Structure 1
Amino acid sequence: MNKEEKIDLILRRTVEVHNQETLLKKLNSNKKLVVKFGADPSRPDLHLGHTVPLRALKILQELGHEIVFVIGDFTAMIGDPSGKSKTRPSLSFEETRKNGETYFKQVAKILDPSKIKIKYNSEWLAKMSFEDVIKLTGKYTVARILERDDFNSRFKKNIPIGIHEFLYPLMQGYDSVALHADIEIGGTDQTFNLLVGRELQRDYGQEPQDVMCFPLLVGLDGKEKMSKSLGNYIGIDESPEVIFEKAMRIPDDVLMDYFRLTTDLNLNDALEIFNRDVVEAHKVYAREIVKMYHGEEAVKPAEERYSTVAKGGIPQNIEEVLVSKNDIENGILLSDLLMLIQMVPSKSEGRRIIQQNGISVNESKENNPTRKITLNDFKNNILIIQKGKKLFKKVVIK
């Protein structure tokens, strides 16, 4: 693609642009632009929803612009209230730095890490005096802050809002001032904060940044935005097998959005396959995502495993868990073994799943919560446990 086509591709994926006229002037100039992207270190594990704006950054990086990742180590100590119905717990300085490192390692799967500038906003925010903070807060009114949907909703419902939360959009906006950002990219849930940056830059005598807002990817439930906390996500650092299986569960009515927002595949070709065979369309998508984040060589094994499990078989490569002979020789409740090998978070959850026919031992369903596993259940010191249709573990006596 030439420069014009790349710019057009970015704009076609956006939901809102502020201001498109000045943005195009900047992008068509020969100036190396500072493109800001705020990274949330409280959520270090990236999923496909995060990749939507990251893929736009990749194109801007290819066009020669400077990509600046702002790791919000200082703002994370407040906790971004965007879209939250209550105050988000804050993180310690050490936690934000550690999470920031994890975040960057995953970003390197999409962007050229050698051409990314990393900035921690504590570099400038921690140096501000109380006088500086007062001057910053004086540039915005409470009425303007309450225009933000989440604050407005909480205010009307008498849900407490901390004064420190009002500072978050100002602090994020001030990041743009500190960086002299030309462009900022984010999701639609960050629109208010991004526009605060534009206004603060004007107040500080800078040319306001242009803002590109990208859609929030719907999760695997087909309803809510993709989120790890909701369990409706596909993580880019998950195994190829897990990614493939999850991709096959994407609801039909949003699959084309996944093609459009998270891949570079030809949309007309994808739509043609979708209209002809929706299952094959899912497989095409699954193969592409596995290839993008794990390489071509990971595609075939992931697909073969999916096909085996879908037919009710046991895949070849499953996770091995070592247990001590002492744990087994006197017999161990199946629910206790499930917790021991971390297939369930608690014994009560283990009993519940057993009673609901969700557990198989050596391909036989078990629904007795008092069932004990003994050495006689092991074949050549190996026991295969299956949870649901897709989770397997090979228990090996060491």
Structure 2
Amino acid sequence: MHFPPVKEQLDIIVNNTVEVISTDELEKKLQKSIVTGTPLKIKLGADPSRPDLHLGHSVVLRKLREFQDLGHEAILIIGDFTAMIGDPSGKSKTRPQLTAGEARENGKSYFEQASKILDPEKTTICYNADWLGKMQFADVIRLASHYTVARMLERDDFEKRYRSQTPISIHEFLYPLAQGMDSVHLKNDVELGGTDQKFNLLVGRDLQREYGIEPQVCITMPLLVGTDGTEKMSKSLGNAICFNDTPEDMYGRTLSIPDTLIEKYWNLLAAHHSGNGAAIAERIAANPRETKRELAREVVAQYYSADDAARAEEHFDRVIVNKQAPDDLVTVEFEESSMPVVELLMALKAFPSKNEARRMIQQGAVQAGEEKITDINAIIEFSDEPVIIRAGKRKFFKVAGGKKTF
């Protein structure tokens, strides 16, 4: 099999990484693969604790795709067994454990979404329950003998919890060991992960060495900050842009990032980025608004199409900039001719709870026709002539009296 020259491969692989442990070892592995014509095995572990992927996940998935494009073997490990332990990385308390069924189901969704970036025909997908689930208790004891409690407490989150006397369950120590056994089983050459996975990746490297296997190279990628500009992107924090967001939501959420994040997002997310950071910085300084719009179009086009991106931008300008309702609103008909505003919003599923609906009303984020509604006890009148209800910045509903259709 023909591979690009080592220098060319290294330039691509090292770009945008945080750390490569070590570059010299990676260079030797690449050279060996060229001589032998054998692709390197590149491993990425996927935690299926949540089925929804966001742009934070795309950073490391894109690096895996780069290895694919260079001719190497991409191995996506769905941690259905380790999810039953719960990855303690970056956690201040014991993480909830999933059932085997929940983990496997989430894993299927993970691969389907990851295939928006990876070439699914060239991706090997594995479930680590297939080998970890077969280990006997004696095997676990032998595995545990390769690591000490002192080494485990070198891990930042464990060390902080130990000092603050926050409980650490014994099973949490088994998580990095179990993940390391994935590397032992697969005999992979490289493992990818976010910076929060560095400890786990190094455990895999150590265990391979303990089991007489050439140790893997560990490559860590940056953690993408969410749309709030402060916390790591996470759906639970409400600062995520998800793979399965609509084009309109994806475009709008990308535009909502602070200007200070444009360059970082561009470098990590733009598929055809040339790597000229200085040029991008200059463009941002000259016109941050248009550069951010270009970024938003690029992001949407990657997960949908250029046409979808153009329509999403048009929708944003109409609804958000010009505060007009979308053209394609479907009329929702009720038997009633009027309804209390909170009841109406809940019937429309505009907000997840009555408390949220009341809060948004009091903040002036709800409008009926041209009238802003600020009274949580207001009655909204509607008849055969539809009324446009605006809930928040992006949600519009057309309601009318008549037969209830939903």
**AA at the equivalent of 2:13:** I
Q: Which of the numbers 80, 90, 99 marks the counterpart of 2:97?
A: 90
Within 2, Cα distance between the matches of 1:209 and 1:87?
A: 29
Amino acid aligned to 2:370: E
- By how many angstroms is 1:391 displaced? 2.4
Post-superposition shift, 1:395?
3.8
Which one of 269, 282, 285 corresponds to residue 275 of structure 1?
A: 285
Mark the CA change 1:153 to 1:353 in structure 2 (over 3 Å): closer, same or farther: same
TM-score between the two structures when normalised by the length of structure 2: 0.92
Q: Is the 8 A contact 1:336 1:350 kept in 2?
A: no
Counterpart code for 1:17: V
Shift of 1:375: 3.8
Number of residue equivalences: 392
Structure 2 counterpart of 1:265, from 269, 273, 277: 273
Q: What amino acid maps onto 1:232 in structure 2? A: N
| TM-score (ref. length: structure 1) | 0.94
Which segments of 5 or more consecutive residues in structure 1 lack a partner in the other structure?
none
Between stretches 108-117 and 228-237, larger displacement belongs to 228-237
1:238 aligns with 2:245: yes
The CA deviation string for residues 160-192 of structure 1, in whole angstroms up to 9 with x for no partner, is: 111111100000011000111110000000000
Structure 2 gap segments, 5+ residues each: none
Aligned to 1:308: 318
Report the identity percentage.
48
Q: Select which of 380, 383, 387 maps to 2:387.
A: 383
CA drift at 1:354: 1.3
Residue type of the partner of 1:157? S
Is 2:261 the partner of 1:254? yes
Contact 1:385 1:395 in 2 (8 A): yes
After superposition, the C-alpha distances for 1:81-127 in whole angstroms (9 at most, x for unaligned) are 10000111111111111111111111111111011111000000110
Q: Which residue of 2 aligns with 1:11?
A: 14
Alignment correspondent of 2:217: 210
Match of 2:60 in 1: 53
Q: Rate the CA distance shift 1:388–1:128 in 2: closer, same or farther, 3 A.
A: same
Q: Is the 8 A contact 1:40 1:71 kept in 2?
A: yes
Q: Classify 1:332/1:76 alpha carbon distance in 2 versus 1 (closer, same or farther; 3 Å).
A: same
Match of 2:309 in 1: 299
Residue in structure 2 matching 1:157, options 164, 175, 184: 164
Q: What CA RMSD, in Å, does the superposition of the two structures yield over aligned residues?
A: 1.8
Question: Within the alignment, does 1:290 sit opposite 2:300 as a pair?
Answer: yes
Q: 2:144 aligns with which of 126, 137, 141?
A: 137
* Closer/same/farther in 2, CA of residues 232 and 322 from structure 1, 3 Å limit: same
- Name the CA shift for 1:164/1:320 in 2 (closer, same or farther; >3 Å): farther
Residue type matched to 1:285 in 2? L
Matched, 1:199 2:206: yes
Structure 2 vs 1, CA of residues 192 and 319 (structure 1 numbering), >3 Å: closer, same or farther? farther
Whole-Å Cα distance in 2 between the matches of residues 307 and 199 of structure 1? Answer: 53
Task: Write out per-residue CA displacement over residues 268-289 of structure 1, whole angstroms, 9 at most, x where no aligned residue.
Answer: 5433321211101111111111
